[in-house]
Amino acid sequence: MPWPDLRLFWVQTTLLWALSWLASKPLSILPVEEVTPGEGHQARGVSSHRKKCEPKTDIVFLKVHKSASSTVMNVLFRFGEMHNLTFAFPIGGGNQLSYPHHFFARFVQGFSPRSPRQFNILCHHMRFLQPEVQKVVSSSAVYFSILRNPVQLMESSFMYYKGTSAFSRARSLEEFLSQPYHYYNPAKSDSHYAKNLMTFDFGFNPNGEASAKRVQLMLKAIEASFDLLLISEYFDESMVLLKEILCWDLDSVVSFPLNIRDSSTKSPLSDTIVEKIKDWNRLDWEIYTYFNRTFWERIDRDIGRERMQREVQVLRERQAELARTCLQGTGSVAPKDIKDSSLQPLQHGNAKILGYNLKQGLDKEMEHMCRRLVTPELQYSSALYKKQFARKPPQPHQPAPSQQGNVLRHKLEGTQN
């Protein structure tokens, strides 16, 4: 199908999906209180003040680039492995579901239209298209993602994706922003790394007009599709909130930062550059500022600031305890200092990605847990892929269709001319 027709198909599918979405969702994941438009309610969530809950095992995580998403993915990998859950892997393994194209169920290993299968966790890189996502996960799956301040996100992207068409000829981010259309060509297949990357990952046009109407439709479409939007600048608070929504225990969301860049490759940004980044990534900025606000409103409503502070403190103490138990030295180390090649993270672009060394002499159980905490994304994904497809595949399942955030998506794309 030609690309313009594929986009039209997605828009039309979006329109058909949206109207029945809320009606199709179980009452247990609808908001427990009415929210009038404009209150900034993080969509589809429930209050965490329930006495009993069952751990959620059906999950969709939209892995937004350069937003601490590799660390979140490690959390999901560990939980899934511990509970023998299934993952929706790209065909043949790998870490991308035919990205940068929109997601289709046929990209998933083991999926067949004649005998649809459900998987517990979908968390590899994809460009979001919910009607197709729903074909491979349970209708009761929890949807969440994580966002990052677009200023820091673009600075990181410039270093990490330095070899892409938009960035390769620019000597610095400042030079790129001085005349972006000298370097940026939206027709290039890798152009999305250079402009409104979060907008692109959520499935929208990164070059669309940032009109008030279009922005509002985009935000409402995201709200209708996702139970929770986390904020990478408040990662510990995000993990506490995620723990509440998923009804998991503390150790399930403990983590060490993964795929992080050495500070030697980071440079301070002037106020002028910051404003240029915001302007260039206007759609991303609108997404981030809106859901940063609703993130804190969600905390105030479901947990409260005092309890959040206590939970964050406990989480940090547990992480510090595990760091003392598991790691040599004080924490992350440069690539050249990583002793175990199986723990070596992928080095990409001009970034210098840090890793970890494990302590020697750990008992078998502790070594297993510590190793999982520091295993880079690609190695962990490969190990889980081999394990999953060495056993019986998941049972056939026909998920119920849902339809709501996509009408908003259709309206949104209809405002783009």
What pLDDT was estimated at residue 38?
29
pTM of the model: 0.83
234 versus 407: the higher-pLDDT residue is: 234
Burial of 26 (0-12, 13-18, 19+ CB in 10 A): exposed
Res 408: pLDDT:
56
| The predicted structure's pLDDT at residue 10 | 47
More confident residue, 22 or 248: 248
| pLDDT at site 380 | 97
Query: What value does the mean pLDDT of the chain take?
Result: 86
Do residues 97 and 128 lie in contact, with contact meaning Cβ atoms separated by under 8 Å?
Answer: no
Indicate whether 398 belongs to any domain: yes
Structural domain for 358, as ranges: 3-27+48-414
User: Average pLDDT in the 403-416 region?
Assistant: 53
- Is residue 36 domain-resident? no
CA angle, 271 then 276 then 281, to 5°? 130
Residue 42 lies in a domain: no
Q: How many domains does the chain have?
A: 1
Strand ranges in 107-178 using DSSP code E only, listed in sequence order: 121-122, 142-147
The stretch 263-278 carries a mean pLDDT of 91
Cα–Cα distance, 208 to 191 (Å, whole number): 14
Burial class of 108 by CB neighbour count within 10 A (0 to 12, 13 to 18, 19+): buried
pLDDT exceeds cutoff 50 at 96: yes
- Which pLDDT tens digit goes with each residue over 301-357? 999 999 999 999 999 999 999 999 999 987 899 999 999 999 999 887 777 889 999
In a domain, 348, yes or no: yes
Where is pLDDT greater, at 400 or 139? 139
Convert the pLDDT of each residue in 149-170 to its tens digit: 999 999 999 999 999 999 999 9
Nearest to 295 by CA among 227, 383, 344, 394: 227
Asked if residue 39 belongs to a domain, the reply is no
Q: How wide is the angle at C-alpha 36 spanned by C-alphas 30 and 41, nearest 5°?
A: 55
Residue 19 lies inside a defined structural domain of this protein: yes
From edge to edge, which strands make up the β-sheet containing 142-147?
Answer: 121-122, 59-62, 142-147, 228-231
Is 34 inside any structural domain?
no
Is 35 inside any structural domain?
no
* Residue 348, pLDDT score: 74
